[in-house]
Amino acid sequence: MRRVISVLMCFLLCFSLSITANAKTIPTNTAQPYYEMVSKAESRLSISGTTAICESTLKGDLDVTKIVAVQTLEKQGFLWIWDTYDGAVWTKTVYSNTLTMSNTKSGLSSGKYRLKTVFTLTDKNGKTETITVYSNEKTVG
């Protein structure tokens, strides 16, 4: 029985490491995928001591009439899985083709963080497009 459990644990460890090795985060300073209604989208995270400064910007085409942005500060946890940091989700809605938002979260514990921003755009014809942009990863402690 111990041998079976040991083999299963070894398999799970190898499988989780291979998934993590193949996972990629695209930072905002590299080539971005093509989107129909967006000319520029950024998600930036900076750390000052134990405070996160979360900034997101989006410039949409002239036909964009509404933007909803959801910022989520994420912390890398068990098995390298990114989880929402407690109390660090913010939403902003604008009725124009540009959006800028900035939020802070104080009292961060040590670990690795990133900012995820999900933008949902609506154009004058009611067509929507949703994009997700991640910041570079930052470490506290």
Query: What is the value of pTM for the model shown?
Result: 0.75
CA 129 to chain centre: 17
Each residue's pLDDT tens digit, 50-100: 999 999 999 999 999 999 999 999 999 999 999 999 999 999 999 999 999
Average pLDDT over residues 35-63: 95
Q: How far apart are CA 7 and CA 15, in angstroms?
A: 12
Let me know if domain 26-140 sits in CATH 2.60.40.10: yes
Predicted confidence band at 7 (pLDDT cuts at 50, 70, 90)? low
Whether pLDDT at 129 is above 60? yes
DSSP code string of 78-112: GGG-EEEEEEEEEEEEESSSEEEEEEEE-SPPSEE
